[in-house]
Structures are given as structure tokens and as C-alpha cells.
Structure 1
Amino acid sequence: MGTKGDGYWHRLVKRLTTDVDQLDADDLSTHAEAQGARRACDCRSGEEVTVFGRLRTVELCPRDAAATLEAELFDGTEGVTLVWLGRRRIPGIEPGRTVKAQGRIAVRDGRKVLYNPYYELQQTAP
């Protein structure tokens, strides 16, 4: 029983003393693994991956007269930019929404990107 009690107190002290953003990142990372997704920090260019996380930003980027919708997905380890070419808006793709996305990882300007990913909007945030 001593070990179980020590674990409880250790977790409680950690929750009370750790930065809220770090706790949120830890929860996202744990939830992503439970969903069968890869951690963004482990994804490499050219790999077919499934990632899971929360959208931090969503913006319309009109480059060269072709609309592009871009969203930053954060899974607790690293960000992945989701890019939908030729789209101005996608219902449900908004900051704070939890999303599971699949596609082939590319690297653009040093950042990981999924172009036109298959995605699933999640009902509840972790």
C-alpha cells in the first residue's frame, strides 16, 4: 500500500507544481498514443502516418491566387501543419478542435506538413 500511496502523492504534487501547458501537452501525447497515432516528433519525411492532436491555429493563406487552408495540429510533442489546397474553409476545422489526421509527411521550410490529409473530427477534447 505504501507504493500506491507514494504514487498518488507524487502525481498530485506533480499536477500542482507543473506548468499547465506542460500538463496539457503530456495529456495530448498520452491520448494520441491511445488513439493509435504516432507522436509528431517521431514522424519522418516520406512516411505515411496518423497523427492526433489539437488545432492551435487555422488560417486562410491566399498564395499565388490559389486559396490554401492551413491548420497547426499539436500533439504534445511537436506541431504538424495540415494543408488543404484549394480550400477556403472546412466546417469543424477551427482552433481548439481535436483532430485525427492521416497522410504522408513532408517537410516545408523546416516544418512537418501533411498535404490534403484525410481527417476525423473528434467529439471530445482529451
Structure 2
Amino acid sequence: MSNTGGYWRRLVRRLTSDVAELDADDLSERSEAGGARHACDCRGGEEAVVLGRLRSVGRSPKASAPTLEAELYDGTDEVVLVWLGRRQITGIEPGRVIKARGRIAVRDGRKVLYNPYYELQNTA
């Protein structure tokens, strides 16, 4: 009978929560299931694996050399992925879910992974 109560609680939450909150919950669960750390738990200088959806992708306006930047959001926080010497990478586009690995740096108060290893994930 406790399963039934849990079902109704989840159903009511889905019906009363806004879409952004539900998306964040789904991303957070997917990140955890994929063996990644939550971005909110990552600290500068640590090796980390993060999994999330790319919110934006573009060239850095500040860099003198070609630099591609993507904002990854995992439902808890964001991490900026930076590929130095690149203008474009096939598959790195807004809305795409990826798993990235590297050492966390902090730039202007934001978490950053420079030249991360990455895997494109299925959207399902």
C-alpha cells in the first residue's frame, strides 16, 4: 500500500510542478544513474565526471584564439566546457546530452572544464 501512496505523491508533484523544475529533476536523476557527480558537488582542482544537457554553445568573445564554449546543466548546477583551439565540434550543440570528464577549474566564479573528454549520450 505504501507504493500506492508514493505513486500518488509523484503524480501530484508532476501535475503541480513547473516544466523547468521537472526537467531539472530528470537531469539530476539521469546524471546520478549515469555514474556522474552532481555539478553542485564539484570543487575546483578535483577530477570530475558530469552528465547533463548543453544549454548553449558558442565561441568565446573574450578569447584571441579560437575557443568553443558550452554550458552544461545537470539539474543541480552548471559547468562551462571549454575547448581551446576549436571553433566547432560535430555533435556539440544546444539540447544535446553529454558526459564530460576532466579537472574542474574556477573562472570568474564559474566551474569550468578545459578540453574535457566527452561522450555524446542518447536522448532517450
How far off its partner does 1:79 sit? 0.3
Taking structure 1 as reference, are residues 4 and 108 closer, same or farther at Cα in structure 2, changes over 3 Å only? same
Give me the whole-angstrom Cα distance separating, in 2, the residues matched to 1:64 and 1:58.
15
- The question of 1:56 aligning with 2:35 is answered no
Residue 97 of structure 1 aligns to which amino acid in structure 2?
A: R
The aligned counterpart of 1:96 is 95
How far off its partner does 1:65 sit? 2.8
- The question of 1:109 aligning with 2:105 is answered no
Where in structure 2 are the equivalents of 1:18-97 lying within 5 Å?
Answer: 18-97=17-96
Share of identical aligned residues, percent? Answer: 71
TM-score (norm 2): 0.96
Taking structure 1 as reference, are residues 6 and 44 closer, same or farther at Cα in structure 2, changes over 3 Å only? same
TM-score (norm 1): 0.95
Deviates more, 1:56-65 or 1:22-31: 56-65
Segments ≥4 residues shifted beyond 2 Å: 62-65
RMSD value over aligned CA atoms? 1.0
Any unmatched runs of 5+ in structure 2?
none
